[in-house]
């Protein structure tokens, strides 16, 4: 498995775990309706996720040796562009929902959590596409 595929798997797995926990807390009502409660809870979850991802990247880079230090080649860059492009469109749709539709019908906490969900979905799509591109041998 390529180094960048491993890092995509790591990031994807950490994102899924972190945001399933966060949105479970939100949906169960354990996060208060105040924006400060939402930001505080999200900040804790994101901080823990970031620490785990950073440690994981360091471990993968050390174990990867020269491959972990190598610059991305054309295929790596093409796969990253493909994932970023698809994630952009998901984020665009989410942004339109949050910025154009929801302000007229929904309370602020729901808008904030929907915006966070749009970001999470966009990043999830990006990393899923990166992983599947490596798995299927996509060359751009």
What pLDDT score was predicted for residue 64?
A: 86
What is the mean pLDDT for each group of 10 consecutive residues in the chain (140 residues)?
Answer: 92 97 95 90 96 96 86 91 96 95 92 95 97 87
What pLDDT score was predicted for residue 5?
A: 92
Q: Which distant-in-sequence residues (6+ apart) come within 8 Å of 47 by Cβ?
A: none
Best CA proximity match to 15, nearest among 62, 48, 55: 48
Query: How many Å apart are CA 10 and CA 49, to the nearest integer?
Result: 11
Query: How many Å apart are CA 19 and CA 12, to the nearest integer?
Result: 11
What pLDDT score was predicted for residue 7?
A: 95
Distances 126 to 30, 91, 99, 130, 133 between C-alpha atoms, Å = 29, 10, 22, 6, 11
Q: Which distant-in-sequence residues (6+ apart) come within 8 Å of 33 by Cβ?
A: 107, 109
Domain ranges, ordered by start, for the chain: 3-136
What pLDDT score was predicted for residue 68?
A: 79
């Amino acid at each position: 498995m390529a180094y960048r595929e491993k890092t995509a798997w790591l990031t994807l797995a950490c994102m899924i775990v972190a945001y399933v926990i966060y949105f479970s807390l939100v949906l169960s009502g354990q996060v208060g309706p105040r924006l400060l409660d939402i930001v505080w809870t999200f900040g804790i979850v994101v901080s823990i996720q970031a620490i785990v991802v950073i440690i994981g990247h360091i471990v993968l880079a050390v174990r990867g040796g020269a491959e972990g230090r190598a610059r991305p080649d054309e295929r790596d860059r093409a796969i990253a562009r493909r994932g970023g492009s698809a994630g952009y469109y998901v984020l665009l749709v989410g942004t339109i929902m949050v910025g154009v539709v929801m302000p007229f019908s929904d309370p602020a906490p729901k808008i904030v959590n929907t915006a966070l969900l749009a970001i999470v979905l966009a990043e999830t799509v990006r990393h899923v596409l990166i992983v599947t591109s490596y798995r299927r041998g996509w060359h751009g």
